[in-house]
């Protein structure tokens, strides 16, 4: 009998489906385990070989936990709202709902071929009204809540209203509150709501009449069409995630994420401690509030810099500087935040003509504006200390501003020195203090003088939560005289209406603004962003069909946190912070019983695709790629090049002719004995449809089977690492499965297995393998597990072992990795039931004990020979044996060793 993977895989998948073997119950006396994948966005390109990497890992882990006796929840769904579907709709006129449904069907078919153990009865789709009903409902909870600073948690806004009505607050009395108009009251409340509306800047493209994602803006112009893009203020919705900044930071200590991941989130939140301080402006009433983490450097301030968007800019600009400032503001409008931060070498700025006064010594300080100061961070104004900050230094140099040195010899005049250890000079009352001690002294003085205060600042900003788009959740909000009125929960879902046109509405509003029935009801015309639905989907899987609530409390209490969450690092900050915040909100409102969604996070690396590029010469012809002078050369993408270029990056003319390829340019062929060719440039890039470098898993599954595909993706390398896709090694994995098969079947003799008792040697192979596979699987080290399987099968083949006692345990170990072949052989061995419900074998240390060890012997740290010695030998005995050794004596040349280092069970080092 041969290994006919096609037949086996089809048969097993059918059996499993018939028996509903992946169906998971919320009622079980087994301990629960929740393994979750980041659900995919179902793009039109279908699944590529990069997608399944994490899915295979989580599938292996889920099956492993099941064999270990857990009730495992391992669901899958689709993040099906988003921009690409809408873009596709604009281009082709097909409704996003149609294309999305089609794409999901493709994805599911592809996923099923790989043999994942999803319980599809729990599938969620964020674009289904039955799902986004609850996304809208949670939005209403956010809208109806505020963050209580005393209790550090969300509370119903009704509590706040009651407080205002009865006690007032520091800004107004209860009587004043009650006298406010409805609009005034709502405006005040809006400043506290966790979902709130305010004005914010967006990338506005006049020519396209729409708002663009940062992604769609390249070098200040739109990606499509290359039209100019500028900043525009528009009413937006936001989530007050900054309120949760501290809890998001603290929560990191309670979860098992990688240090790198925690670091990224901490940096994103960007908590810093410092002071806010007011500077008086010469001859004017206004003051400029700056935020600084280094109040100790106050006497080194040589100028102030305002963000160009700062509200005071137009007030303080002098007549003489007016024109220059206007020109500069015009220039800045075309620049993205990213460009403003990235291009630090290009120093730009403009003097306003105004001066501020140093609050301590009254020194006049010129006020500039510059794009390197961002309006969204701190107060949008900084005090520049050129001797201590490199950007300030470069700026001062560039514009010939005098630099005050307050750190003596620590400043060399060539570059800034951000030290905190210098002793302050030229610093008034701070003279003689070490900088890090002076910080507190300075803040105390500032507070004492009433010109500022201690301030904790966050880099994180509130999250923009509206999009001027169609394919997203509509906001359950009606506008009435500038007041946002929430819909009643009973009216949900507020369904997305059908539209004819997906183009933008008037004034950059979303497509919903084009629908008279929508605008007649004064409904909000923007929609929620992609991350809305994905911020809470892990809860819906627990209770996916509940029409009464987003997730029954019993279900969320049983499944609780996601035990392992697997996904890419590209979601490190965005999605993970948002879902952590939503979880905290639901927890605060006592709707769920935990305030961190993900107990453990595993980041899978990306499988990069291979892209190929043609080098083009001055005349516009394709030439062979040359490493030299290629930096200045021009390259054009060779679409789908990975399908035609050989392992050395060579494209043959014969291949071009055979496949009827149309090349974008004329080509100058090189010639060798095999014919005409051209060398292309290879680059590893993210796999994506737009890069034309996508490989499809279906082809691999058809050719080698799902089991081979699964094991090969794992064998490529550690799950967390990025790696280029290459099918070179897949034969090896396939050969391994065939070799395993041959332990059970022989083409001539047929069944090979027997009931004989296993030998000590065979038991040693088995138990060594159990130990290794068990710990590697537990640690997500799947690549080394695959190699351990290969070693085990090689050794059992060498031992000609066909004993059921050994083989059936190997099958259980293998079942998570290659479920189909394991199931088939399990049944062939005449075992009862499915292998999916087998019990994971334990290993017994007694089979692994060795009496002797082959010790490596080093001379001065270099390995020279090995000596076999008893495992329990002590140092004196070891030294004796080592010194008797011929090779050691040769290196000693008759001398006595200075020292002999012996590490039991490890090695011996003779130091001469």
Partner RNA sequence: GCCCAUGUGGCGGAAUUGGUAGACGCAGCAGACUCAAAAUCUGCCGUUCGCAAGGGCGUGAAGGUUCGAUUCCUUUCGUGGGCACCA
370: Cβ contacts below 8 Å, ≥ 6 apart: 305, 308, 347, 348, 349, 350, 395
At 798, list the tokens: 């060498």
**How far apart (Å, rounded) are the C-alpha atoms in residues 842 and 848?**
13
The single residue among 172, 268, 594, 644 that binds RNA, judged by CB under 7 A, is: 268
Q: Is the dihedral of CA 538, 543, 549, 551 positive or negative?
A: negative
The single residue among 57, 243, 382, 716 that binds RNA, judged by CB under 7 A, is: 716
Is residue 179 within the footprint of RNA (CB under 7 A)?
no
The single residue among 726, 756, 778, 850 that binds RNA, judged by CB under 7 A, is: 726
At 805, list the tokens: 């006692």
The single residue among 613, 715, 744, 847 that binds RNA, judged by CB under 7 A, is: 715
Backbone angles phi and psi of 754, in degrees to 5: -140, 175
Is residue 738 within the footprint of RNA (CB under 7 A)?
yes
Q: Where are the alpha helices (DSSP H) in 605-729?
A: 653-659, 697-704, 706-715
User: Which CB atom, from 343 or from 500, has the smaller least distance to RNA?
Assistant: 343
**How far apart (Å, rounded) are the C-alpha atoms in residues 439 and 433?**
10
Q: How many CB atoms lie within 10 A of CB 419?
A: 13
User: Which CB atom, from 368 or from 780, has the smaller least distance to RNA?
Assistant: 780
State the nearest-atom distance from the C-beta of 53 to RNA, in Å: 12
State the nearest-atom distance from the C-beta of 906 to RNA, in Å: 4
In 157-228, the DSSP E strands lie at 195-205, 210-212, 217-218, 221-222
User: CA-based diameter of the chain, in Å?
Assistant: 103
Is residue 234 within the footprint of RNA (CB under 7 A)?
yes
Q: What is the x/- site pattern for RNA, positions 863-902, by CB under 7 A?
A: xx-x--------------------x-----------x-x-
The single residue among 482, 497, 729, 833 that binds RNA, judged by CB under 7 A, is: 729
The single residue among 249, 324, 718, 827 that binds RNA, judged by CB under 7 A, is: 718
Is residue 829 within the footprint of RNA (CB under 7 A)?
no
User: Which CB atom, from 66 or from 734, has the smaller least distance to RNA?
Assistant: 734
Q: Which residue stretch of 47-55, 65-73, 654-662, 904-912 sits at the interface with RNA (rule: CB under 7 A)?
A: 904-912
User: Which CB atom, from 214 or from 659, has the smaller least distance to RNA?
Assistant: 214
**How far apart (Å, rounded) are the C-alpha atoms in residues 351 and 395?**
12
Q: How far apart are the first and last CA of the chain?
A: 62
The single residue among 655, 684, 829, 873 that binds RNA, judged by CB under 7 A, is: 684
User: Which CB atom, from 77 or from 359, has the smaller least distance to RNA?
Assistant: 77
359: Cβ contacts below 8 Å, ≥ 6 apart: 277, 278, 279, 280, 298, 446, 449, 451
The single residue among 152, 267, 630, 670 that binds RNA, judged by CB under 7 A, is: 267
Is residue 224 within the footprint of RNA (CB under 7 A)?
no
Cα distances (Å, whole numbers) of residue 501 to 86, 95, 373, 497: 10, 9, 40, 12
Counting beta carbons within 10 angstroms of the beta carbon of residue 414, is it exposed (0 to 12), middle (13 to 18) or buried (19 or more)? exposed
Q: Where are the alpha helices (DSSP H) in 312-434?
A: 313-316, 322-333, 337-342, 390-398
The single residue among 292, 466, 777, 809 that binds RNA, judged by CB under 7 A, is: 466
Tell me the pairing of strands 607-616 and 681-686: antiparallel
Residues in binding contact with RNA, number by CB under 7 A: 99
Q: Which residue stretch of 187-195, 316-324, 327-335, 683-691 sits at the interface with RNA (rule: CB under 7 A)?
A: 683-691
The single residue among 570, 702, 746, 877 that binds RNA, judged by CB under 7 A, is: 570
Question: H or E stretch including 290?
Answer: strand 287-292
The single residue among 103, 236, 615, 693 that binds RNA, judged by CB under 7 A, is: 236
Is residue 627 within the footprint of RNA (CB under 7 A)?
no
Residues 380-409 within binding reach of RNA (CB under 7 A): none
Is residue 341 within the footprint of RNA (CB under 7 A)?
yes
The single residue among 280, 600, 686, 804 that binds RNA, judged by CB under 7 A, is: 686
Is residue 218 within the footprint of RNA (CB under 7 A)?
no
State the nearest-atom distance from the C-beta of 144 to RNA, in Å: 22
The single residue among 84, 300, 452, 819 that binds RNA, judged by CB under 7 A, is: 84
Counting beta carbons within 10 angstroms of the beta carbon of residue 325, is it exposed (0 to 12), middle (13 to 18) or buried (19 or more)? buried
State the nearest-atom distance from the C-beta of 908 to RNA, in Å: 8
Closest to 240 measured CA to CA, from 517, 10, 582: 582
Q: Which residue stretch of 323-331, 495-503, 734-742, 813-821 sits at the interface with RNA (rule: CB under 7 A)?
A: 734-742
Is residue 728 within the footprint of RNA (CB under 7 A)?
yes
Exposure string for 8-34, b = 16+ CB within 10 A, e = fewer? bbeebbeebeeeeebebeeeeeeebbb
State the nearest-atom distance from the C-beta of 214 to RNA, in Å: 4
Q: What is the x/- site pattern for RNA, positions 98-137, by CB under 7 A?
A: ----------------------------------------
Asked if 734 and 707 count as a contact pair (C-beta separation under 8 A), the reply is: no
Residues 528-557 within binding reach of RNA (CB under 7 A): 529-531, 534
Backbone angles phi and psi of 908, in degrees to 5: -130, 135
Exposure string for 181-202, b = 16+ CB within 10 A, e = fewer? eeeebbebbbebbbbbbeebbb
The single residue among 129, 156, 503, 574 that binds RNA, judged by CB under 7 A, is: 574
The single residue among 10, 344, 449, 848 that binds RNA, judged by CB under 7 A, is: 344
The single residue among 192, 227, 665, 739 that binds RNA, judged by CB under 7 A, is: 739
Q: Which residues pair with 909 in a beta bridge?
A: 858, 901
Is residue 45 within the footprint of RNA (CB under 7 A)?
no
User: Which CB atom, from 111 or from 433, has the smaller least distance to RNA?
Assistant: 111
Q: Which residue stretch of 92-100, 314-322, 336-344, 357-365 sits at the interface with RNA (rule: CB under 7 A)?
A: 336-344
């Amino acid at each position: 009998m041969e290994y006919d993977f096609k037949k086996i895989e089809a048969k097993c998948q059918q059996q499993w489906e018939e028996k509903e073997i992946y169906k998971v119950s919320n009622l079980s006396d087994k301990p629960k385990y929740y393994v979750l994948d980041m659900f995919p966005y179902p793009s039109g390109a279908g699944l590529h070989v990069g997608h399944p990497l994490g899915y295979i890992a989580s599938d292996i882990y889920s099956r492993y936990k099941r064999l270990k006796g857990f009730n495992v929840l391992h669901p899958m769904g689709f993040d099906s709202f988003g921009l690409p579907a809408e873009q596709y709709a604009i281009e082709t006129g097909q409704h996003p709902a149609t294309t999305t449904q089609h794409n999901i069907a493709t994805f599911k078919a592809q996923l099923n071929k790989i043999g994942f153990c999803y319980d599809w009865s729990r599938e969620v789709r964020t674009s289904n009204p039955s799902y986004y009903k609850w996304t809208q409902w949670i939005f209403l909870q956010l809208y109806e809540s505020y963050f209580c600073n005393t209790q550090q948690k969300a509370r119903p806004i009704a509590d706040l209203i009651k407080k205002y009505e009865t006690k007032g607050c520091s800004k107004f009395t209860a009587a004043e509150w009650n006298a406010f108009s409805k609009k005034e009251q709502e405006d005040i409340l809006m400043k506290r709501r966790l979902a709130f509306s305010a004005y914010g800047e967006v990338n506005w493209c006049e020519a396209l009449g729409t708002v663009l994602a940062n992604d769609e803006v390249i070098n200040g112009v739109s990606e499509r069409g290359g039209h100019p893009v500028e900043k525009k203020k528009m009413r937006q919705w936001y989530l007050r995630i900054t309120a949760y900044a501290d809890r998001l930071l603290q929560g990191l200590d309670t979860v098992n994420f990688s240090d790198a991941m925690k670091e990224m989130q901490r940096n994103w939140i960007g908590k810093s401690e410092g002071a806010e301080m007011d500077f008086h402006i010469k001859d004017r009433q206004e003051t400029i509030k700056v935020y600084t983490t280094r109040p100790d450097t106050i006497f080194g301030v040589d100028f102030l810099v305002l963000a160009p968007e700062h509200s005071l800019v137009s007030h303080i600009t002098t007549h003489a500087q007016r024109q220059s400032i206007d020109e500069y503001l015009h220039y800045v409008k075309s620049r993205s935040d990213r460009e403003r931060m990235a291009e630090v070498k290009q120093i730009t700025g403009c003097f306003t003509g105004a001066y501020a006064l140093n609050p301590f010594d009254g020194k006049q300080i010129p006020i500039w504006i510059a794009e390197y100061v961002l309006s969204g961070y701190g107060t949008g104004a900084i005090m520049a200390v050129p001797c201590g900050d490199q950007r300030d230094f470069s700026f001062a140099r560039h514009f010939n501003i005098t630099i005050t040195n307050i750190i003596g010899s620590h400043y060399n005049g060539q570059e800034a020195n951000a030290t905190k250890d210098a002793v302050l000079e030229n610093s008034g009352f701070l003279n003689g203090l070490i900088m890090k001690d002076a910080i507190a002294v300075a803040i105390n003085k500032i507070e004492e003088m009433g010109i500022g205060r201690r301030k904790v600042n966050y880099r994180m900003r509130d999250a923009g939560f509206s999009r001027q788009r169609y394919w997203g959740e509509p906001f359950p909000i009606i506008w009435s005289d500038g007041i946002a009125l929430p819909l009643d929960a009973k009216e949900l879902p507020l369904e997305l209406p059908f539209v004819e046109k997906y183009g933008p509405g008037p004034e950059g509003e979303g497509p919903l603004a084009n629908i008279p029935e929508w605008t007649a009801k004064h409904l909000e015309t923007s929609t929620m962003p992609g991350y809305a639905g994905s911020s809470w989907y892990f809860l819906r899987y627990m209770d996916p069909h509940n029409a009464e609530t987003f997730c029954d409390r019993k279900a969320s209490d049983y499944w609780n946190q996601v035990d392992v969450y697997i996904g890419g690092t590209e979601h490190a900050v965005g999605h993970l912070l948002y879902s952590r915040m939503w979880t905290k909100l639901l927890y605060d409102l006592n709707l769920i019983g935990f305030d961190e969604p993900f107990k453990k996070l595993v980041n899978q690396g990306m499988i990069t695709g291979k892209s190929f590029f043609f080098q083009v010469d001055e005349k516009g012809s394709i030439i062979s790629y040359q490493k030299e002078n290629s930096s200045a050369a021009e390259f054009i993408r060779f679409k789908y090049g990975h399908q035609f270029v050989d392992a050395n990056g060579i494209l043959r003319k014969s291949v071009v002719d055979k496949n009827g390829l149309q090349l974008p340019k004329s080509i100058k062929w090189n010639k060798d004995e095999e014919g005409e060719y051209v060398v292309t440039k290879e680059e590893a890039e993210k796999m994506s449809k737009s890069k034309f470098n996508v490989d499809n898993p279906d082809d691999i599954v058809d050719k080698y089977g799902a089991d081979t595909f699964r094991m090969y993706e794992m064998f490529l390398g550690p799950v967390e690492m990025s790696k280029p896709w290459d099918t070179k090694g897949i034969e090896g994995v396939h050969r391994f499965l065939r070799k395993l098969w041959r332990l059970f079947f022989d083409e001539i003799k047929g069944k090979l297995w027997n009931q004989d008792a296993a030998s000590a040697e065979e038991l040693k192979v088995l138990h060594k393998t159990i130990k290794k596979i068990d710990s590697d699987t537990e640690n997500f080290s799947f690549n080394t597990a695959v190699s351990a399987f290969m070693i085990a099968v090689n050794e059992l083949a060498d031992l000609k072992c066909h004993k059921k006692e050994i083989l059936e345990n190997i099958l259980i170990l293998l079942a998570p990795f290659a479920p189909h072949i394991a199931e088939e052989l399990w049944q062939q061995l005449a075992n009862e039931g499915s292998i999916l419900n087998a019990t994971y074998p334990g290993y017994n240390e007694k089979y692994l004990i060795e009496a002797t060890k082959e010790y490596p012997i080093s001379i001065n740290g270099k390995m020279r020979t090995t000596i076999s010695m008893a495992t329990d030998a002590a140092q004196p005995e070891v030294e004796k044996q080592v010194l008797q050794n011929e090779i050691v004596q040769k290196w000693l040349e008759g001398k006595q060793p200075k020292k002999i280092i012996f590490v039991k069970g490890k090695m011996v080092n003779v130091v001469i």
